[in-house]
Amino acid sequence: MSVKNVAVIGGGSFGTVIANIIAHNGHKTQLWMRDAEQVESLNVTRQNAVYMPGLDLHDQVEATHDLKSVVEDVDMIFVAVPTGSFRSVVKQMRPYLQSGVILISATKGIEAVTFKLMSQILAEEVPDARIAVLSGPNLAKEIANRSPTGTVIASKDAEVRKLVQDTLRSDTFRVYANNDMLGVEFGGSLKNIYAIIAGLADAIGMGQNTIAMLITRSLTEMARFGVVLGADPMTFLGLSGVGDLIVTCSSPLSRNFRVGKALGEGKDLDLIINELGQVAEGINTLKQVKEKADQLGINMPLASSLYEIIYNKAGIDHIIVSLMLEETELDVEFVGKAKLLGK
């Protein structure tokens, strides 16, 4: 199978840079955006002035707000819309998709109420599709500036993994392959919670010792949670796990980090979200994960403390108390496969 025509659903920052990479690799690339005015502006100026100003887009990138024309007769579709609208957009696409189309989720999050990952939504809504997920330490502005970047494509289908690698790979964008979709998705979703905590810690002047402890304890919680739900613990030690966690916990380009920092500075959450102008998935993910962890009896003191701060107005020092009281370590035995002890 060869890939000729590709669609990207979602004209935010990440959708835009991914579409541009694909176009530079010789594929006709259609970019779906909700806003007709933004579509017109992009096609005329060759820039996404709202989400990625300054990035000149390849001539092969064509924006449109007509979903039917974007997705019919294409070989591969990247879906990069917020979790809150993910299922509804996929449902709108479904009647126009060709059988066996490759659908790749580029959205990091968990659906409210159902606790479904985006790959699970794709499988439910388009059962005959070939499904994959894309995740990693992928700050869109750095990709746009051609900073060397790695990402992970995860799928049970080896051919799909290879096709996505060929479609996305460039001299500054390396695509690694994995077959653990659960682990890759949980890594991309859960790290947003801890990026908010890192922003809080930065705002109140915590030192590098604290940040290092915070990141490693966060990794423990992520792996503990993911393994109980069926993920491979080794995935969390890779690019889509600890790699993504490090970048989102240390960069002001991370939306979730910025939310946490603003909270630490005493700003109101609703005002922060309005000023951000984009979705910070960590806020929604936190609620879903806290409820699931309580249901399954999974120990997640950092996530629980952040929940208390955001939803029950607890003091910010709640996080530091959690760090100092948590004693469980992540022990990994390399006996053919890693095992998580004390989960």
Residues 14-40 have a mean pLDDT of 96
How far apart, in whole angstroms, are the C-alpha atoms of residue 37 and residue 43? 10
Q: Is the pLDDT of residue 329 over 60?
A: no
Q: What is the pLDDT of residue 114?
A: 96
Active site residues: 191
Q: Is the pLDDT of residue 337 over 50?
A: no
How far apart, in whole angstroms, are the C-alpha atoms of residue 278 and residue 274? 8
In tens, the pLDDT along 121-161 reads 999 999 999 999 999 999 999 999 999 999 999 999 999 99
In tens, the pLDDT along 181-229 reads 999 999 999 999 999 999 999 999 988 898 999 999 999 999 999 999 9
Is domain 182-325 in CATH 1.10.1040.10, yes or no? yes
Residues 251-278 have a mean pLDDT of 86
Q: Is the pLDDT of residue 339 over 70?
A: no
- CATH fold of 5-179: Rossmann fold (3.40.50)
Domain residues of the chain, as ranges?
5-179, 182-325
- Per-residue confidence at 169, pLDDT binned at 50, 70, 90? very high
Residues 328-340 have a mean pLDDT of 40
Residues 332-340 have a mean pLDDT of 38
One-character DSSP codes across 132-193: EEEESS--HHHHHTT--EEEEEE-S-HHHHHHHHHHH--SSEEEEEES-HHHHHHHHHHHHH
- Per-residue confidence at 276, pLDDT binned at 50, 70, 90? confident
Q: In what order do the strands lie in the sheet with 130-135?
A: 61-64, 28-32, 5-9, 76-79, 102-105, 130-135, 149-154, 173-178
Q: Can you read off the two tokens belonging to residue 1? A: 């199978």
For residues 137 and 247, the answer to whether their CB atoms sit within 8 Å is: yes
Q: What is the pLDDT of residue 319?
A: 79
- Per-residue confidence at 314, pLDDT binned at 50, 70, 90? confident
The whole-model pTM stands at: 0.90
Contacts of 154 (CB under 8 A, 6+ apart): 132, 133, 134, 135, 161, 177, 178, 179, 180, 181, 183, 184, 185, 240
Tell me the average pLDDT of the chain: 91
Residues 89-104 have a mean pLDDT of 97
How far apart, in whole angstroms, are the C-alpha atoms of residue 33 and residue 50? 12
